[in-house]
Amino acid sequence: MNIRIARILALVSGMTGAAGVLSQDKVLNLYTSRHYQTDEALYAGFTKATGIRINRIEAPEDALIERLRNEGARSPADVLITVDAGRLWRAEQMGLFQPVKSAFLDARIPAAYREPGGLWYGFSLRARVIAYHKAKVKPEEVPTYESLAEPKWRGRICVRSATNIYSLSLMSALIHHLGPQKAEEWARAVKANLARDPKGGDTDQLRSVAAGECDVAISNHYYYARLARSDKPEDRAVVERVGIVFPNQASWGTHVNVSGAGVARHAPNREAAVRFLEYLASDEAQRYFADGNNEWPAVPGVKTENPALAVLGEFRRDALNVAVLGRNQPEAQKIYDRAGWK
């Protein structure tokens, strides 16, 4: 570990005693579409470690990106944090980020989870899993995403809308691994296997499987983990009836996406912005992502105390650079449209 990285580690861990004094009057203007209450501890941890106060603007993802674009050079935003590499790519294409050169970030965040030019970094991981009804389906029947295209699933699958960013990113990964033609064949076959028109969020898909409306569905893993940690009987009942599979363990691995952030192009407090990104890669912040919102740390080797994640166990992750999920997004939407996937 070089001296610069060691110093930053000390800073983000709160061990640099002068940090609070030096930054007492500094602020960070954060634009965030993350709507998780547990992130409050994340922001408080940054202020405690650095003395930098956070001014926060919260809004839905697309609205926030559009606001940042419309503000242009007048924007007060220092950092944009949002979910899914597809949205980070959209912001990148609008020219809303500036590149960051940080030896600490490059050492902590694996290359697969960051934009190659340093425009944005992923700080937490979410896996796109296959959920199944335990009484009707054996997990070995759905070992891959491709298996959902088999005729035996006719009238048995629930999914989200084709315009949803999670759906687009999964298709983007399939385009890379299967090629556009086979990816479109998959989309058409899965569409023919749907139990109903695409609708609702991931939790709705899980509840639909538990209720018997469909036998399998696609969801991000943390929605399942959230139900598993719930004190509500109706949520625990879903987990009792529904299991999940990490697809493609024998091939390229399960599709993973990120929640990430970048420094805004016209950031008035650039130094604070870079320090915030570096804080998000600290062990402390990485544990907040995992223990608070059931996401996996992007930094390898960070230990968490989340029992719901521990139960899910280890799995092979797709090594595809998440920036590809954005680049393939336009083609992904065209494929869904041609397949008639609403």
Same fold, 3-125+256-307 and 127-254+317-339: yes
* Cβ count near 21 (within 10 Å): 8
- Domain 127-254+317-339, what architecture? 3-Layer(aba) Sandwich (3.40)
The residue ranges of every structural domain in the chain are: 3-125+256-307, 127-254+317-339
Q: 3-125+256-307 belongs to which homologous superfamily?
A: Periplasmic binding protein-like II (3.40.190.10)
Say what the pTM is. Answer: 0.90
Q: How far is CA 233 from CA 106, 202, 307, in A?
A: 43, 19, 18
Residue 40: the pLDDT is 85
Mean pLDDT (10-residue bins), the chain, 342 residues: 44 38 69 80 92 94 94 97 94 97 97 97 97 98 98 98 96 98 98 97 98 98 96 97 98 97 98 97 94 94 92 95 96 97 92
With vertex at residue 163, the alpha carbon angle to CA 160 and CA 168, rounded to the nearest 5 degrees, is 85
245: β partners: 130
Query: Where are any strands of DSSP class E within the chain?
Result: 27-32, 53-58, 79-83, 121-133, 157-158, 216-220, 242-245, 256-263, 296-297
- Name the one residue in this structure whose structure tokens are 């016209």: 266
Beta strands 53-58; 27-32: pairing state = parallel
